[in-house]
């Protein structure tokens, strides 16, 4: 058994740390702007310019939740988290508490419901993202992120805004989401912040986090909740960077359950013009690196305003599908390798939860020999994972043929690696330990 124990939390994370790989979906009216999900805020747009204009034309006529679910499943993802409302405040579900919602667009359907049904039907777990920030609600006070913070009368406007009304609204909507859509596996709040200068920040007092979460846990026992509502729950969520060690709890130093969330190209919403799309090779290495440090990867797709996944997203998902088809055994049910196993340079290890299998991911493909320190006497059998072809190795008197110098390889195993790199982006060697 793995010796790593994570901090106890209220939610059920057992399935989560087994499954390791999920899809984030950022979808809202910002798909029409196609230049960032923060467009309303960044460009300081008014409600007339943004809310009232886009709602008239939002019509993802090619949306097919089943197709999204099939693509996620084929890529090897085991769960998906959809934005039910992002910072713009637009609701992708048929909320009873607002008119600013998808059922009031030409599209006219409750997209959250179709998402939940289709993903569940494919056997994936479902999560809902809910933005605590809301740039549409008339009582949400203007702060450092709000689109109106450059308006001359911003402070004046704040005098008539009653944030407690917004808190009420938030509570009611979260209750709706936790009541009307069956079992929800993850609730992903986003996010809390400090104030600066004249602007007050927003955190657990404004969101009434304790009250909201108490209700959520009554309605959805076992649900996993992230930490972004300013109250520690189940999930630590590093974003847009890859941790270099297994994150630990600030006060106690315990290991925590964590999930890196990453984009294909930078923005979370559909971004037409970005040229920073990550290579397939880099994306797969990100998944492996995450699991090699005991974490999950939540990889984001921003569907187009017509409702389908952009070709660049689809191609990347297909690359994952191809790799996972042969190599998922090194991901599902795997975690950080035991401290006694130190991966050589150019490689990343993962190890199965039961401790019996060790996986060597060849980020750098070595020439003929791969030296694995400390493994002498511990290997029962070794093979490439993608085709189960045997890998020969020596562990006694492992020396290179040289008359120039001696290399001390005691305790190491030297594997014979074919010169021809297997036809897979990141080859994996599966070691059955004694």
Q: Which residues bind ligand GLC (CB under 6 A)?
A: 26, 37-38, 190-191, 239, 261, 268
Minimum CB distance to ligand GLC smaller for 37 or for 110: 37
Q: What is the spatial distance between Cα 121 and Cα 404, in angstroms, rounded to a whole number?
A: 63
- Provide the b/e sequence for 203-231 (b: ≥16 CB within 10 Å): bbebbbbeebbebbbeebeebbbbbbbbb
Q: How far is the CB of 375 from ligand GLC (least distance, A)?
A: 38
Q: How far is the CB of 102 from ligand GLC (least distance, A)?
A: 18
Q: What is the spatial distance between Cα 112 and Cα 129, in angstroms, rounded to a whole number?
A: 11
Q: How far is the CB of 32 from ligand GLC (least distance, A)?
A: 16
Q: How far is the CB of 8 from ligand GLC (least distance, A)?
A: 25
Minimum CB distance to ligand GLC smaller for 131 or for 158: 131
Q: Which residue in 197, 206, 198, 409 sits closest to 189, CA to CA?
A: 206
Minimum CB distance to ligand GLC smaller for 16 or for 268: 268
Q: How far is the CB of 228 from ligand GLC (least distance, A)?
A: 8
Minimum CB distance to ligand GLC smaller for 258 or for 341: 258
Q: How far is the CB of 239 from ligand GLC (least distance, A)?
A: 4
Q: How far is the CB of 262 from ligand GLC (least distance, A)?
A: 9
Minimum CB distance to ligand GLC smaller for 25 or for 75: 25
Minimum CB distance to ligand GLC smaller for 117 or for 239: 239
Q: What is the spatial distance between Cα 41 and Cα 140, in angstroms, rounded to a whole number?
A: 13
Minimum CB distance to ligand GLC smaller for 38 or for 181: 38
Q: How far is the CB of 26 from ligand GLC (least distance, A)?
A: 6
Minimum CB distance to ligand GLC smaller for 143 or for 190: 190
């Amino acid at each position: 058994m793995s010796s790593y124990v994570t901090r106890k939390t209220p939610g059920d994370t057992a399935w989560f740390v087994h499954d390791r790989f999920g899809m984030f979906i950022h979808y809202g009216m910002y798909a029409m702007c196609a230049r960032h999900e923060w467009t309303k805020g960044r460009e300081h747009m008014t409600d007339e310019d943004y809310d009232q204009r886009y709602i008239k034309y939002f019509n993802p006529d090619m949306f097919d939740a089943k197709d999204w679910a099939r693509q996620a499943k084929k890529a090897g993802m085991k769960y998906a988290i959809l934005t039910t409302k992002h910072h713009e405040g637009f609701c992708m579900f048929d909320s009873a508490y607002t008119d600013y919602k998808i059922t009031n667009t030409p599209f006219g359907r409750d997209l959250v419901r179709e998402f939940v049904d289709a993903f569940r039907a494919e056997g994936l777990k479902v999560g809902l993202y809910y933005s605590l920030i809301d740039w549409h609600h008339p009582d949400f006070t203007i702060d450092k992120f709000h689109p109106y913070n450059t308006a001359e009368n911003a402070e004046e406007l704040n005098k008539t805004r009653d944030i407690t009304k917004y808190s009420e609204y938030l509570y009611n909507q979260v209750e709706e989401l936790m009541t009307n859509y069956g079992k929800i596996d993850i609730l992903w709040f986003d996010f809390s912040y400090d104030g600066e200068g004249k602007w007050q920040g927003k955190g657990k007092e404004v969101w009434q986090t304790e009250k909201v979460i108490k209700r959520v846990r009554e309605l959805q026992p076992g649900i996993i909740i992230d930490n972004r509502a300013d109250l520690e729950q189940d999930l630590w969520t590093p974003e847009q960077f890859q941790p270099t060690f297994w994150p630990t709890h600030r006060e106690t130093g315990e290991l925590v359950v964590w999930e890196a969330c990453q984009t294909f190209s930078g923005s979370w919403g559909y971004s037409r013009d970005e040229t920073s799309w990550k290579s397939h090779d880099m994306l797969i290495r990100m998944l492996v690196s995450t699991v090699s440090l005991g974490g999950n990867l939540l990889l984001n797709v921003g569907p187009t305003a017509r409702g389908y996944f952009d070709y660049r997203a689809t191609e990347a998902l297909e690359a994952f599908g191809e790799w996972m088809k042969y190599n998922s055994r090194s991901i599902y049910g795997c975690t950080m390798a035991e401290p006694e196993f130190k991966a050589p340079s150019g490689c990343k290890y993962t190890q199965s939860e039961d401790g019996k299998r060790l996986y060597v991911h060849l980020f750098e493909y070595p020439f003929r020999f791969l030296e694995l320190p400390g493994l002498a006497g511990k290997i029962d059998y070794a093979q490439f994972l993608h085709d189960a072809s045997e890998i020969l190795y020596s562990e006694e008197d492992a020396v290179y043929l040289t008359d120039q110098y001696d290399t001390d390889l005691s305790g190491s195993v030297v594997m014979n690696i074919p010169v021809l790199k297997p036809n897979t982006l990141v080859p994996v060697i599966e070691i059955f330990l004694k």
